[in-house]
Amino acid sequence: MNISTADPRLLGRTVRRVVFDEATIAQRVRELGADITRAYPDGELLVLGLLKGSFIFLSDLVRQIRRPLQVDFIVASSYGESTISSGHVRLVYDPETELEGKHIVLVEDIIDTGRTLSRLMELLQARKPRSLEICALLHKHVASGFPYETRFLGFGAPNEFLVGYGLDHAENFRHLPYIASLQ
Nearest by Cα to 94 from 48, 129, 137: 48
Asked if the structure places residue 129 within a domain, the reply is yes
Range of the domain at 156: 22-77+89-160
Query: How many whole angstroms separate alpha carbon 135 and alpha carbon 61?
Result: 10
Q: Span 104-122, mean pLDDT?
A: 91
The model carries a pTM of 0.87
Asked if the structure places residue 82 within a domain, the reply is no
Q: What percent of the chain stands above pLDDT 70? A: 85
* Residue 112 known to be catalytic: yes
Q: What percent of the chain stands above pLDDT 90? A: 61
Domain of 63, CATH number, reads 3.40.50.2020
Asked if the structure places residue 109 within a domain, the reply is yes
Predicted confidence (pLDDT) per residue in 24-63, tens digit: 999 999 999 999 999 999 999 999 999 989 999 999 999 9
Residues 95 and 127: beta-carbon distance below 8 Å: no
Query: How many whole angstroms separate alpha carbon 25 and alpha carbon 12?
Result: 25
Asked if the structure places residue 166 within a domain, the reply is no
Q: pLDDT class for 157, splitting at 50, 70, 90?
A: very high
Asked if the structure places residue 4 within a domain, the reply is no
Asked if the structure places residue 152 within a domain, the reply is yes
Asked if the structure places residue 51 within a domain, the reply is yes
Catalytic residue (one of 60, 109, 112, 168)? 112
Instruction: Quote the number of domains for the chain.
Output: 1
